[in-house]
């Protein structure tokens, strides 16, 4: 019974010496080696997740230590591990604010997930064209529109922003470069090519590392037949030299023509996504 009684008196103060419960005198124990069974019950050292898998996750402590070690290693391999490690307190606070904004949108703008009673609203993560009206109502999109161009590089064009917006922002950036998987010399190449953009320093755009050795890689001209695939070209020069007549016979030329063509490459069309003439036999 003594172990279940409070050691504080009725007024909440520490009990006096006289009122404290009496404890039995300790027994003298003889010195002897612990048996093998007792030794096995001793606390095992906490291991990394790889070692723990080999030894066994026998206790909650070993499991929790291995789980934390695995999560830590996963974070070091993330694409943003470098910038996350060097991030300031303000940047970390901004991340937390954005997460709260996302949570607000999930709870208020979108409907419940499939494992909860439906509210009659569409869920987040469904097809873009079917959810574009909800996306335009989100608080997260308001934040995205105010972000600098550099931050837009990791936002998916097809799901967050109108394609014309980032394309128009890119036209005045001197450090913007473009590359293509094919030279833009034929209608077939114009249709099949994959283009990508990147903001980088001039040296990074003109140098690459091959077998551990840095080599000079000159700029390419996407409009020429001798263009080397995936070599960078200054984006402003690309806009000036762009000239293409599309399938309808319309001539796309210069900045406006290039941007219109790029938007068509970014956006999904019903024909491009589903190929309405496609059948089970080809």
Confidence at residue 67, expressed as pLDDT on a 0 to 100 scale: 86
Contacts 24+ apart (CB under 8 A), 28-33: none
Confidence at residue 65, expressed as pLDDT on a 0 to 100 scale: 86
Largest Cα span, the chain = 104
Chain length of the chain: 282
As a whole number of angstroms, the distance between CA 219 and CA 214 comes to: 16
Return mean pLDDT, the chain. Answer: 77
Q: Determine the average pLDDT of the residues in 209-213.
A: 83
Q: pLDDT tens digit string along 111-165?
A: 766 555 555 677 787 777 778 888 899 998 888 888 776 555 555 544 556 778 8
Q: Determine the average pLDDT of the residues in 204-212.
A: 87
The pLDDT confidence band at residue 110, using thresholds 50, 70 and 90, is confident
Confidence at residue 38, expressed as pLDDT on a 0 to 100 scale: 45
As a whole number of angstroms, the distance between CA 242 and CA 254 comes to: 5
How is residue 146 written in tokens? 């105010």
**Closest-CA residue to 175 (of 106, 110, 254, 232):** 232
Confidence at residue 117, expressed as pLDDT on a 0 to 100 scale: 53
Phi/psi of residue 141, nearest 5 degrees: -65, -35
Pair 170, 146: CB distance under 8 Å: no
Confidence at residue 180, expressed as pLDDT on a 0 to 100 scale: 94
Q: Where exactly are the structural domains of the chain?
A: 45-86, 89-146, 164-269
Pair 257, 242: CB distance under 8 Å: yes
Exposure string over 163-180, b if 16+ CB within 10 A, otherwise e: beebbeebeeeeebbbbb
Cβ-based neighbours of 202, under 8 Å, separated by 6 or more: 175
- The kind and range of the H/E element at 177 are strand 176-180
Exposure string over 91-105, b if 16+ CB within 10 A, otherwise e: eeeeeeeeeebeeeb
The pLDDT confidence band at residue 277, using thresholds 50, 70 and 90, is low
Q: pLDDT tens digit string along 246-269?
A: 888 889 999 999 999 999 888 766
Contacts 24+ apart (CB under 8 A), 217-223: 220/179, 222/178, 222/179, 222/180, 222/183, 222/184, 223/183, 223/184, 223/185
Q: pLDDT tens digit string along 50-97?
A: 777 777 777 888 888 888 888 888 888 887 888 888 899 999 999 999
Confidence at residue 266, expressed as pLDDT on a 0 to 100 scale: 80
Give the ranges where 41-163 is alpha helix by DSSP (H). 49-55, 60-76, 81-85, 89-108, 128-135, 139-145, 149-152
Q: Determine the average pLDDT of the residues in 173-186.
A: 94
Q: Is 230 left (phi over 0), alpha (psi -120 to 50) or beta?
A: left
Confidence at residue 171, expressed as pLDDT on a 0 to 100 scale: 92
Q: What percentage of residues in the chain have a pLDDT greater than 70? A: 70
């Amino acid at each position: 019974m003594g172990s279940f009684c409070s050691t504080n008196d009725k007024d909440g103060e520490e009990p006096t010496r006289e009122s404290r419960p009496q404890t039995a005198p300790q027994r003298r124990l003889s010195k002897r080696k612990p048996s093998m069974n007792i030794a096995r019950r001793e606390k095992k050292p906490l291991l990394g997740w790889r070692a723990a898998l080999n030894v066994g996750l026998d206790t909650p402590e070993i499991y929790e230590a291995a789980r934390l070690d695995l999560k830590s290693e996963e974070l070091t391999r993330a694409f943003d591990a470098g910038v996350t490690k060097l991030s300031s307190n303000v940047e970390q606070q901004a991340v937390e604010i954005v997460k709260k904004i996302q949570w607000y949108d999930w709870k208020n703008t979108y409907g419940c997930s499939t494992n909860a009673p439906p509210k009659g609203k569409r869920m987040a993560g469904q097809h873009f064209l079917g959810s574009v009206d909800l996306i335009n109502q989100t608080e997260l999109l308001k934040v995205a529109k105010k972000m600098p161009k550099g931050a837009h590089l990791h936002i998916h064009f097809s799901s967050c922003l109108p394609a014309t917006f980032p394309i128009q922002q890119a036209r005045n950036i001197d450090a913007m470069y473009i590359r293509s998987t094919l030279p833009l010399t034929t209608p077939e190449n114009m249709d099949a090519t994959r283009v990508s953009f990147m903001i980088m320093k001039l040296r990074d755009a003109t140098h690459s590392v091959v077998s551990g050795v840095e080599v000079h890689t000159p700029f390419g001209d996407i409009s020429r037949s001798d263009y080397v695939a995936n070599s960078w070209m200054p984006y402003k020069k690309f806009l000036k030299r762009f000239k293409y007549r599309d399938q309808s016979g319309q001539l796309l030329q210069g900045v406006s023509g290039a941007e219109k063509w790029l938007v068509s490459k970014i956006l999904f069309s019903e024909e491009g996504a589903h190929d309405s003439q496609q059948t089970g036999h080809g």
